[in-house]
Amino acid sequence: MGIGLHPNAVWYTSSGALLGAVLAINTQISLPPGSGTSFNADMTTSDVVETVEASAALGLSPVIVSTAPTQVLAKTELTVGRGDTLLGLLQKNKIAAADAHAAVTALNEIFDPRDIRIGQKIVVSATTNSAAPDLDAIRIAVGPGHDIIALRSTTDTFSATTLKAQTNLETQAFTGVINSSLYEAAVDKGVPAPVLVDMIRLFSYDIDFQRDIRANDSFELMFERRITEDGLVVSNGEIEYASMTLRGKTFKIYAYEHTENHIDYYNEDGKGIRKALMRTPINGARLSSSFGRRKHPVLGYTKMHRGVDFAAPRGTPIYAAGDGVIEKRQRWSSFGNYIRIRHGDGFATAYAHMKGFAKGYKVGSRVKQGAVIGYVGTTGRSTGPHLHYEVLKNGGQVNPMKVRFPASKSLTGEELMAFQAVRKSTDVAWSNAFAERDVASLCDGNESRSVE
């Protein structure tokens, strides 16, 4: 669609009043956001939005502002299609090549134009008084509450700037009862998938997500998220607190920030939850753990079977259970694609039947705990996609679910005291999150009663 012809375009007529307003704010390089987001760009108050919009569309050039009063401004939204480049998209919409090129060149300082995605919206403001519109500004939303803008600064040049919405932190608290799997129960309650994957990973040291979970087990989860004033989620923060109650036994984990941006997790006594090896070295969110279809757990531990099987969809990522060195990585008879990692304290772990190995490793490579080393498959002697996981101690297989892994770090002294203070305030934040919710639900109840 052409800029000047778009039926839904917002049109402005330039006037002396507008010119005054433009001059009053002409030191600011700002545009109001499209999607109704309020931006904290030093200037935007709602009562001047229209003026600002016009000024931004006009650009900050007195040359343009002072053109004939017949001049009109158009703002239109373009959608990136398959095969579009930013430059091509602008030109396809009748923006002069020189303008399009200058604007894209300016944007390039803060944004790689190749990063535009199919379906992305690009808002273009142009001044039209003839067949060829003069480009004034381009705005691209690159993330929630995060826009980038190229704005005409003189008749010939453009400058680029970033606009970020003002954000607030909001505590998110979830609790739920598990009916089939933690993953389903948590997603059902609205827990964002990436946070849930983090939570599962944190519990993977203690919990076997395929066998330990039963109907009526439950979970708790609290984290902060950053949202714009309009409620757009900009980012989910780190987990602050989580618990899992399995057959009456509760595991709690608390975040503790040792130094800025260095967070680690501890149980309520200040004992580190990260252990040298993980019991569930696989993306637990993808395990097939429906109660009805699961094999009896005891069947996993016969004498013939020296490991634990995790049934999971083909392609599910498999993690290195601990830091170590890869000592075998090959096709190995009935094990199919097989990796063995040597860890400290006489421990090794082995992973079999993989569909394939993750790239970038070879025998002798160092791996970090949690690194993806391969993907679930059914190579070798295997009846369906699963990970066969073994823990070896001094060369012999041990039961991964029973073996005591080397103790994890415990906080002591002043650090333990500091942790306990954090834990207490986390507990208070947790109960407050639900106190507020309870009050809200009481109010709802009163209202419904008064209606009766």
- Give the angle 56-60-65 at the CA atoms, nearest 5°: 95
Interface residues with Zn ion (CB under 5 A) are: 307, 309, 388
User: Can you tell me whether residue 50 is helix, strand or coil?
Assistant: helix
Distance in Å, CB of 352 to Zn ion, minimum: 7
Distance in Å, CB of 387 to Zn ion, minimum: 8
255 pairs with which residues across the strands?
265
Q: What are phi and psi of 69, to 5 degrees?
A: -65, -10
Comparing CB distances to Zn ion, the nearer of 168 and 334 is: 334
Eight-class DSSP state of 376: -
Distance in Å, CB of 389 to Zn ion, minimum: 8
Comparing CB distances to Zn ion, the nearer of 174 and 335 is: 335
Distance in Å, CB of 337 to Zn ion, minimum: 14
Eight-class DSSP state of 410: B
Distance in Å, CB of 35 to Zn ion, minimum: 51
Distance in Å, CB of 314 to Zn ion, minimum: 16
Radius of gyration of the chain (CA): 29
How is 200-269 classified by DSSP, letter by letter?
Answer: HHHHTTT--TTTS--TT-EEEEEEEEEEETT--EEEEEEEEEEEEEETTEEEEEEEEEEETTEEEEE-TT
Distance in Å, CB of 378 to Zn ion, minimum: 11
- Ranges of beta strands (E only) in 80-217 are 121-128, 134-143, 146-152, 158-164, 167-177
- d(C-alpha 56, C-alpha 423), whole Å: 49
137 pairs with which residues across the strands?
125, 151
How is 289-336 classified by DSSP, letter by letter?
Answer: --TTTPPPGGGGG-SS--SEEEE--TT-EEE-SSSEEEEEEEE-GGG-
187 Cβ partners below 8 Å, 6+ apart? 193, 196
Comparing CB distances to Zn ion, the nearer of 130 and 302 is: 302
Residue type (1 letter), 425: S
Comparing CB distances to Zn ion, the nearer of 176 and 307 is: 307
Comparing CB distances to Zn ion, the nearer of 31 and 308 is: 308
Q: What is the dihedral of CA 47, 49, 52, 56, to 10 degrees?
A: 180
Q: Retrieve residue 381's tokens.
A: 């002697």
Helices 49-58 and 16-24: angle between axes, nearest 10 degrees = 90
Distance in Å, CB of 391 to Zn ion, minimum: 13
Contact 135, 90 (CB under 8 A): yes
N residues, the chain = 452
Helices 182-189 and 193-203: angle between axes, nearest 10 degrees = 140
Q: What are phi and psi of 240, to 5 degrees?
A: -95, -35
- Residue 415's H or E segment, with its range, is helix 413-451
Distance in Å, CB of 305 to Zn ion, minimum: 6
398-431 b/e (C-beta count within 10 Å ≥ 16 → b):
bebbeeebeebeebeeeebeebbebbeebeeebe
Comparing CB distances to Zn ion, the nearer of 169 and 304 is: 304
